[in-house]
Structure 1
Amino acid sequence: MQYQGVLTKMQTEIGSPIQYYLVFENDFLNVNQLLDKKMSINFVGYQCLNCKKEKKIYRQGFCYDCFFEIPQAADWVMKPELSKAHLGIEERDLEYEQRVQLKPHIVYLANSSNVKVGVTRKTQVPTRWIDQGAHEAIEIVEVPNRYLAGITEVALKDYVGDKTNWRTMLKNEVQDENLVEWRDKLKQYIPEEAQQYFIENNTETNLEFPVLQYPKKLKTLNLTKTPDFEGVLKGIKGQYFIFEDNTVFNVRSNEGFVVTINV
């Protein structure tokens, strides 16, 4: 069968294992069903996720112009501590910024390659952890806005990592950690403004990914350099396809690419 559409990050459903879905305008594909099967990915072109024009993708699925104009790509998205909607200050679109920033946010610990701290909207738990390929995670703080989550993350980054080593994550070279102990150890470093929002009595969440075979030596598929690829799918972790020949493909980093997938 052939599927065609604009790549966006895979939708997920919690389960044992996690279920992954590619959603196109006219097609819907449960990727788990492709495990151990040969599939091809063919690059067709570009379509900006915002303006829908056939323009080269710059970052995050957006063309150059949209990336520097729309609120979905503003600096506070990647750096929550820069959020200003709680002060009524607009960066690009105050209505949008208030709608997103003035919602409950979670500061969490996730273990995908090592223990790291991160921020997400409460509604994105556990989706955010799945997207990062974390096999275990725990909430530390639940705050009423993105700014408080951001300054908490910044404070904790002095004592725990904030980046995922994607190579280690994909090779599954990871160790289990006691995230409850990590949570309690880091409590003292939470800023005073966020101390009252510390979560004391929770347990870590464990996640199971649909992987039949982990790669040993990674090869990254770049569709602009290799527009036609074929391989046997052996796993899905984070937002990556893992193929039998050790090729890995990051769906999220290719958002806005128009592709055909043949199974």
Structure 2
Amino acid sequence: MLIEPDLPARYTLQLGEHAVALNAAQGEMLTLYPTGRRFCLHCARPSSTLVGGGYCNDCFQRLARCDSCIVRPETCHYHLGTCREPRWGEQHCFTPHVVYLANTSGLKVGITRTERLPRRWLEQGAIQALPILDVESRRQAGLIETLLRQRISDRTAWQRMLRGPVPWVDLPAWHDRLLSTFSDELTALRQRFGTSAIRARDKATVACFDYPLPTEPTRLVALNIAEQSHIAGRLMGMKGQYLMLDTGVINLRRYGGHEFELSITSPERQQLGLF
């Protein structure tokens, strides 16, 4: 699902070659029918079971993007010569990354490739975000995130994020507080990786986001598409990777590689494709 910054954010659901503008469908009936077919997001082969967010078992075992260091980047082992795909690691892990603060269900710390901003914040349902440090690699970002997790969470409570309203957070104040608290540790990391490897960001500009949210309460029951013949409900709104129906909510990120048939009230919006 593509999310683009706007007032509110614009949501597009990609189904194979077809793109469905979801903002225009807000308030209409939406039905998802699983076809039962699943395809690996990397090799595109049919697979009865997908793991790691949409990969067949073979790809999950051999791809660097499926290794545990992607979830825990501070454990990156490229420098030990054991990276599953060194060239992929060089292209994706040894590129500029940013350590940021975001307000999703509350204050959190996160990391991402610099090129993925602001998309990463929108995917998480952040209403505020502020980069605090630029670094040269994913491993460096992970080491810093591990430090900051001693004071703030790196998790989002999805029900609180969707239920709202989420209280505003003074991100610039937290920027100063965290960099001051961990000043010695950050100095040690600069001595280890080089002064220019870890650079503080200006705290002046906080990014703010708005989402197409429902005007009435939505049931915050997680719907599992894969275990039902279909899921139907009125599309009330979207935030992060969640579709909010009047019957429950769907986290579309869980269904990478699954094939569904989508029906929206208007016949011309019926499509068949892959998430």
Per the alignment, in what secondary structure is the counterpart of residue 225 of structure 2? coil
Give yes or no for contact 1:88–1:94 (8 Å, CA) kept in 2. no
Counterpart of 1:75 in structure 2 is 68
Per the alignment, in what secondary structure is the counterpart of residue 224 of structure 1? helix
1:216 and 1:262 map into 2 onto residues whose CA distance is: 20
Counterpart of 1:206 in structure 2 is 208
Identity %: 29
TM-score where L is the length of structure 2:
0.87
Counterpart of 1:187 in structure 2 is 179
Based on CA coordinates, which of the two structures has the bigger radius of gyration? 2
Q: How many residues are paired up?
A: 252
Structure 1 gaps, min length 5: 1-9
Alignment of 1:1-263 (within 5 A): 10-45=1-36, 46-55=38-47, 56-85=49-78, 87=79, 89-188=81-180, 189=182, 191-192=186-187, 193-194=189-190, 196-213=198-215, 215=217, 217-245=219-247, 247-263=248-264
Per the alignment, in what secondary structure is the counterpart of residue 235 of structure 2? strand
Structure with bigger helix share is 2
**Per-residue deviation, residues 165-221 of structure 1 (Å, max 9, x unmatched):** 011001114110100001110002152225851113432110001112364541111
Pick which of 25-34 and 145-154 moved more.
Answer: 25-34
Per the alignment, in what secondary structure is the counterpart of residue 15 of structure 1? coil
Per the alignment, in what secondary structure is the counterpart of residue 233 of structure 1? strand
Give yes or no for contact 2:132–2:203 (8 Å, CA) kept in 1. no
Query: Deviation above 6 Å: which 4+ runs of structure 1?
Result: none
Per the alignment, in what secondary structure is the counterpart of residue 13 of structure 2? strand
TM-score where L is the length of structure 1:
0.91
Pick which of 193-202 and 69-78 moved more.
Answer: 193-202
Aligned-pair Cα RMSD in Å? 1.6
**Per-residue deviation, residues 49-94 of structure 1 (Å, max 9, x unmatched):** 1121221212211122221211221122111112244x37341100
Pick which of 232-241 and 170-179 moved more.
Answer: 170-179
Pick which of 89-98 and 215-224 moved more.
Answer: 215-224
Per the alignment, in what secondary structure is the counterpart of residue 219 of structure 1? coil
Structure 2 gaps, min length 5: 265-275
Counterpart of 2:271 in structure 1 is none
1:108 and 1:18 map into 2 onto residues whose CA distance is: 20
